[in-house]
Structure 1
């Protein structure tokens, strides 16, 4: 069954033979809705409630992880409250925000260099600004992710509501999203929440054909993750499919998301003399050299099941394989339904992550595939067992991933 996509704004309410005028506050709300690409509907407090409960759940897991999995098995003290959130990529963002990319004339010409230039400047810049108000660095990162995550979940609910008129679709999509296997990364000082806080409103603006706003938000997203380019490609494809006549004059706006990455490339060239400094940092630090897709699959399969890695790494590599399969299925379904822009967005993400020596960070990247969460929610409304199966199977996996990260055992 197909459902019409809601667009535009409702007309004035009619009471008998007279037309009731819009309240000034309602008119202002409609103007804001048109500006930000949001459908004019009443705020759903259930979405906010789901978001807060999911954050409380992460705090519970973090508290228990401190006590049950300390760094020292013989410890008598659980360590600092914020200690579980200070792992892995967070160290890079902290160093960049606090010290810059090349402090004290050090850089990739040194043998022990940490390749921090592989991380884009969006989150470190915001972290540095937030630190001026919140003295604790870790708390600043958590605050950024909390606020950005709230923007992301409300935008995700609106995207779902644009596709299906069922009043349950928004909260159901958010439920699946905040309980997803890698939901821990929406909470900690990582880039996923901040990227989505720009990317999802950008997609909403594109749906409303507000191309300058969509391009500006996509440009902000491209300061956070390279996935901003994939978003820009999806918006450009959507523009080409829906635009007719003189509206092509808005096309130059679509180049805006490229500018932040061009500026960052120039900055790195000035400091390193290398126009490909970002890519070379990826290669040195994480082995992201180009390989054919079948080679990347074979190498990841071997790492997961050939007993060449420790069990911790082998487990994570098996998760990478599963996430790749999920992404391929999502892309195939989007193509079958002729949702070309969304298919391009997910497909480009898979191409970028699936052509390294082996797969890295694909489960985390699945958080950014909003068609996946909307599609699961829509399927669960047609088949209630989808919701039951999802909660029973995915929530334990989400808890395992959260404990892995919070205990310093994450490897993906």
Structure 2
């Protein structure tokens, strides 16, 4: 086939080809335009620190938004009644599930009355951010989408740096480090739960805080760590899990003497917003465990033995009492939970104690609840997983294709379910 193509090209009349002089002139003009654009952009790239892997991160993140737009278009036209003559509203398909809770809190504050669990189960950090952005944009749904777009990009910039650090520690070459960072991020944006990085959910802003806090902890910049994790803890309770891992990093820095230990005082900051929220809930409800009660009432989250959790989830996944589409979600939760357990075991085997503490707490709390729930979403915050997979993509080039072959269809299904109003974990 290639030889036939070359033969056909060689038989074309001479006047079909551009004159050499004209081609050279166009090439020179294009090179000049490119040089001028680069001369304008390079100082900004250097100032913002988005050269090299960071530039790759922004490109991968922005390109990954295209599939989300295509899925939105598909759901708006096909996800609802087949008798409809017009598509569903493009913006309204993103107003689903927890987003409605966050919007309600931002617009009206907390309430103790709800059909499915009280709004006090949700931390106030994200609703505060949403309120501020809405004050400028005057649209709740687009405020949520813009927050996710911007903070998701910030999180991706941090993730490529973390993956690059892990790749360097693994002994990869400079080219291998950049490839690992790019591929690890590519797997992240095509994760099964990737829709939650686009929706008005807490994952993007939480990761933006947590990932950069982890980087600064590796650098010993504890004040920045404390401030970022304080914001992260106000957004999500998992900020305290990150704090536990960061605490291990602080101990591994071997602080010496009183002055060395006092350098870690900012690590107290992340506890303050959580404590303040609990005090607020006590004044609102008269109970110190109001948050845990709201979680148990609304989502049946309460501590059980791990074998009971496994049995309950198995019953939901393969029993006859669950709606099929919901049972499929629980089947996925089973698979992902065991991936998380394997990740924690691997981190312990490698003596990566800081990462082990964070991932162990994350997986452990979900694996000892009443049922495996939202574990799929939780994988987005397991940055050691994406670092490991990024390195694997360099050492085993076939792995990326295998991963995308399995993950991309599941990602589409979960996004389609979420946007069409079905439960998506």
Structure 2 distance, partners of 1:362, 1:44, is 28
Once the two structures are TM-superposed, the CA of residue 131 in structure 1 deviates from its matched residue by 0.6
**Structure 1 stretch displaced more, 81-90 or 200-209:** 81-90
Contact persistence 2:296–2:302 (CA under 8 A): yes
Query: Out of 340, 360, 372, which is 2:373 matched to?
Result: 360
Check if 1:65 corresponds to 2:75. Answer: yes
Q: Secondary structure at the match of 1:194?
A: helix
Once the two structures are TM-superposed, the CA of residue 163 in structure 1 deviates from its matched residue by 1.7
Query: Out of 117, 120, 129, which is 2:120 matched to?
Result: 117
Structure 2 distance, partners of 1:377, 1:127, is 33
Cα gap change, 1:134 to 1:41, in 2 (>3 Å):
closer
Structure 1 distance, partners of 2:197, 2:53, is 22
Q: Secondary structure at the match of 1:132?
A: helix
Check if 1:79 corresponds to 2:88. Answer: yes
Structure 1 distance, partners of 2:231, 2:77, is 39
The equivalent of 1:266 in structure 2 is 279
The equivalent of 2:388 in structure 1 is 375
Structure 2 distance, partners of 1:187, 1:41, is 24
Once the two structures are TM-superposed, the CA of residue 367 in structure 1 deviates from its matched residue by 0.4
The equivalent of 1:49 in structure 2 is 59
The equivalent of 1:231 in structure 2 is 242
Structure 2 distance, partners of 1:330, 1:168, is 22
Cα gap change, 1:131 to 1:338, in 2 (>3 Å):
same
Check if 1:199 corresponds to 2:210. Answer: yes
Check if 1:92 corresponds to 2:101. Answer: yes
Alignment of 1:17-28 (within 5 A): none
Alignment of 1:11-410 (within 5 A): 42=52, 44-70=54-80, 72-102=81-111, 107=112, 112=115, 114-165=117-168, 166-246=177-257, 247-410=260-423
Q: Secondary structure at the match of 2:322?
A: coil
Structure 2 distance, partners of 1:355, 1:391, is 30
Question: In angstroms, what is the RMSD of aligned CA positions?
Answer: 1.9
Cα gap change, 1:184 to 1:411, in 2 (>3 Å):
closer
Structure 1 distance, partners of 2:51, 2:224, is 20
Residues 292-316 of structure 1 deviation map (CA, whole Å, 9 limit, x = unaligned): 1110010000110122201011001
Once the two structures are TM-superposed, the CA of residue 319 in structure 1 deviates from its matched residue by 1.0
The equivalent of 2:32 in structure 1 is none
Residues 328-380 of structure 1 deviation map (CA, whole Å, 9 limit, x = unaligned): 11111111111101011011011211122111100000100000111011011
Once the two structures are TM-superposed, the CA of residue 114 in structure 1 deviates from its matched residue by 4.1
TM-score by length of 2: 0.84
Once the two structures are TM-superposed, the CA of residue 74 in structure 1 deviates from its matched residue by 2.3
**Structure 1 stretch displaced more, 132-141 or 241-250:** 241-250
Structure 2 distance, partners of 1:42, 1:381, is 17
Structure 1 distance, partners of 2:390, 2:288, is 43
Once the two structures are TM-superposed, the CA of residue 45 in structure 1 deviates from its matched residue by 2.2
Q: Secondary structure at the match of 1:190?
A: coil
Structure 2 distance, partners of 1:410, 1:284, is 18
Give unpaired runs (5+ residues) of structure 1: 1-24, 34-39
Once the two structures are TM-superposed, the CA of residue 43 in structure 1 deviates from its matched residue by 5.7
Structure 1 distance, partners of 2:209, 2:54, is 21
Once the two structures are TM-superposed, the CA of residue 243 in structure 1 deviates from its matched residue by 2.2
Structure 1 distance, partners of 2:385, 2:178, is 19
Structure 2 distance, partners of 1:79, 1:324, is 35
The equivalent of 1:11 in structure 2 is none
Once the two structures are TM-superposed, the CA of residue 113 in structure 1 deviates from its matched residue by 7.1
**Structure 1 stretch displaced more, 49-58 or 112-121:** 112-121
Cα gap change, 1:333 to 1:43, in 2 (>3 Å):
closer
Structure 2 distance, partners of 1:66, 1:324, is 32
Larger Cα-atom Rg: 2
> What is the aligned residue count?
373
Greater share of residues in helix:
2
